[in-house]
Amino acid sequence: MSHYFSNRETFKEIILIPVIATFLAISLGLLLLIFSGSSSEIALKALIALFLGSFGSLSAISETFTAATPLILAALGIAIGFRAGLFNIGAEGQIILGGMAAVIIGFSFHLPFVFHIIFVLLAGALFGAFYAFISGWLKAVTGAHEVITTIMLNLIAYRLLDFFLRISWIQKEGRNDPISKSILETAELPRIFYVLDPNLRVHTGFLIAIIAVLVVYWLIFHTTIGYEFRAVGKNLEASRYGGINPALTIIIAMSSAGLLAGLAGASQIAGILGRATPGFSAGIGFDAIAVALLGRAHPIGVLFAGILFGALIAGGREMQVSADVSLDLITVIQALIIIFIAAPILIQKLFPWIFK
């Protein structure tokens, strides 16, 4: 995996391949639509709706950024893992743990406005980090493969969530189904464009995600620990000879990944949901893997890939409303993007004149 992400990625690798992959995937998706019996007029309508629903108005942009926020945060964590040679499938579980911690802090403490939010986000990040730490520690100490342990921990997280939501001091009063109490107003991340229109949902979590992009960029490329991540990811044995402690590095990389995923969970809770339900993680942890791959595990790439995926989600909604095309087409497009990204050689073969 890690050899895709060399330090000297060329412009072509970072920018061109993802752009071409996206373009190809959308075109193929629309072709699929036509082959499955829709008229080309509907396909065109779908394409326009996809664009208008994602960038066509302030509220569309707001929806795009809202959907992108948790994807960017969790994908940054996965990108750190890729850099250190770790394939972290556990973002979903880490999001759940982070979100759960955020909910509990959010409804049970009475604190002033800004402090409460900081406390909520910190709790989310710490719980996410702790959950990923388990996988990192298992890998470092016992050699257990992180793909296996993170998948297993995801399943445990789902059941933990079901269990927690039925505990009486967490469960919402008067309800039998698993749903948590709502967080207090002081724990909510404020909406960015509140003054303009209170219905624009994009919240300050998006700004946090952008700051996280810069911090992770600095961490990976301008700090010793970032260098160690990359060294271990490239060649674990060589890094050991170079005086790096790979076990410790793996634990730190995994924990940072979990910290970011936990933050994603907390920002979902504090930014848009306000409470936890069994499905609140909504598969974001898995979509984030795709975002990290599309972003070539580069923080800036992840930012744009996250916004693109957010746009597909927001645009897909408009596509179903106005062109009556099923949202499943978006899943197909996302999957096609990943296929093209996972096979960069394919794209270079398809468009040799661009890469020569």
Partner 1 sequence: MYFKKFLKISSGAFAGVLLMAVNSANGFTACQVTDVGGVDDKSFNQTAWKGVQDAVAKHGIKSKLLESKSETDYEPHLNSMVSSGCDVIIAVGFLMGEATKNAAEANSKSKFTIIDFAYDPTVPNILGQVFATDQAAFLAGYVSAGVSKTGIVGTFGGINIPPVTGFMDGFAWGVKHYNKVKGTSVQVLGWDPESKEGLFTNNFDSTDDGRAFAQNLYDEGADIVMPVAGPVGLGSASLADELGSDKLKIIGVDGDWTQTDPARKGVYLTSVLKKMDITVLSVIEAVKSGSYSGGITVGTLENGGVGIAPYHDLTSEVSSELASEVEALRKGIISGSIVMNK
Find the shortest distance in angstroms from Cβ 70 to partner 1: 9
Find the shortest distance in angstroms from Cβ 7 to partner 1: 37
Other CB atoms within a 10 A radius of the CB of residue 329 amount to 24
Of the pair 81, 271, the CB lying nearest partner 1 is at: 271
Cα distances (Å, whole numbers) of residue 108 to 116, 187, 342 = 11, 10, 44
Find the shortest distance in angstroms from Cβ 180 to partner 1: 12
Q: Which residues bind partner 1 (CB under 8 A)?
A: 45, 48-49, 52, 56-60, 63, 66, 162, 175-178, 195-199, 201, 268, 272-273, 277-280, 282-283, 314, 317-318, 320-324, 326-327
In the structure encoding, which two tokens stand for residue 268, read together?
Answer: 């979902």
Of the pair 94, 149, the CB lying nearest partner 1 is at: 94
Of the pair 182, 245, the CB lying nearest partner 1 is at: 182
Find the shortest distance in angstroms from Cβ 273 to partner 1: 7
Do residues 273 and 56 touch, judged by C-beta distance below 8 A? no
End-to-end Cα distance, the chain: 25
Find the shortest distance in angstroms from Cβ 97 to partner 1: 17
Of the pair 296, 317, the CB lying nearest partner 1 is at: 317
Do residues 267 and 121 touch, judged by C-beta distance below 8 A? yes
Q: What φ, ψ does residue 327 adopt, rounded to 5°?
A: -60, -20
Contacts of 294 (CB under 8 A, 6+ apart): 18, 21, 22, 301, 305, 308, 309, 337, 338, 341
Do residues 153 and 135 touch, judged by C-beta distance below 8 A? yes
Of the pair 85, 265, the CB lying nearest partner 1 is at: 265
Please count the CA atoms within 13 angstroms of the CA of 260 that sit on its side-chain side.
34
In the structure encoding, which two tokens stand for residue 281, read together?
Answer: 């993680």
Find the shortest distance in angstroms from Cβ 85 to partner 1: 31
Of the pair 12, 159, the CB lying nearest partner 1 is at: 159
